[in-house]
Amino acid sequence: GNSVTQMEGPVTLSEEAFLTINCTYTATGYPSLFWYVQYPGEGLQLLLKATKADDKGSNKGFEATYRKETTSFHLEKGSVQVSDSAVYFCALRTNTGGFKTIFGAGTRLFVKA
Amino acid sequence: GAVVSQHPSWVICKSGTSVKIECRSLDFQATTMFWYRQFPKQSLMLMATSNEGSKATYEQGVEKDKFLINHASLTLSTLTVTSAHPEDSSFYICSASPGQGPYEQYFGPGTRLTVT
């Protein structure tokens, strides 16, 4: 079946450090891949997405590249800020089973000033 | 645009009672709505998918008689937890989509249910 595995947190970084959050997936068909962010006390927000192999999604300095050969969609940011502290969810959606979104477990990021 | 609201944001109820959670799409018509459950420090688990005017489709292992979902209009879906028990305490999140298929999903802020 379809599944998403992402690195466990929490991840604690100092401001301006480089961020990588690993995400790998298993899917039938051709999934679209997403990163969502959940700030404290708020709902999920779409951060970026990629719909086919080798696509790069980017937003607010975050990037992720759809790697079909390694079934990965790692999230990166060159210089994190305190305001990036949140929980990040990797997710996939395929056209099998009615376009349901399958989420990874989430990775909590703390950024220290 | 594309705002989804949930009400209430936090509810406490006694064991054995029922509680209703509302999910509204404020600025678009939501053909499809999804209900998720999130346990502390865990991921979102899809409970059911509902299309406006149709019966909801529940995921395997979700009791449809316990978690009643109604999607009577294009802007409102409700989740009723019937005869709630402490193990039903969780964070419930809805999302709404303007169509059936590869459309964007917009998430509500979630409702925290505590059953005492």
Residue B95 with chain A: CB contacts under 8 Å: 44, 101
pLDDT reported for residue B104 = 80
Task: Compute the distance between CA of residue B32 and CA of residue B56 in angstroms, rounded to an integer.
Answer: 10
> How would you class B87 by CB atoms within 10 Å of its CB: exposed for 0-12, middle for 13-18, buried for 19 or more?
exposed
Q: Mean of the per-residue pLDDT values for chain B?
A: 91
> Is there a contact between A101 and B95 if contact means CB atoms under 8 Å apart?
yes
Tokens in use for A22?
Answer: 């690993």
pLDDT tens-digit readout, B70-109: 998 999 999 999 999 999 999 999 999 887 666 788 899 9
pLDDT reported for residue B72 = 82
More confident residue, A48 or B54: A48
Residue A101 with chain B: CB contacts under 8 Å: 34, 46, 95, 105
pLDDT reported for residue B51 = 87
pLDDT reported for residue A97 = 62
Mind listing the pLDDT tens digit of every residue in chain A (113 residues)? Answer: 889 999 888 999 999 999 999 999 999 878 999 999 998 877 788 999 999 999 999 999 999 999 999 999 999 999 999 999 999 999 998 876 667 888 999 999 999 99
Closest partner residue to B108 (CB to CB) among A36, A43, A89 is A43
Decide: helix, strand or coil at residue B106.
Answer: strand
pLDDT reported for residue B1 = 65
CA-based R_g, chain B, Å: 13
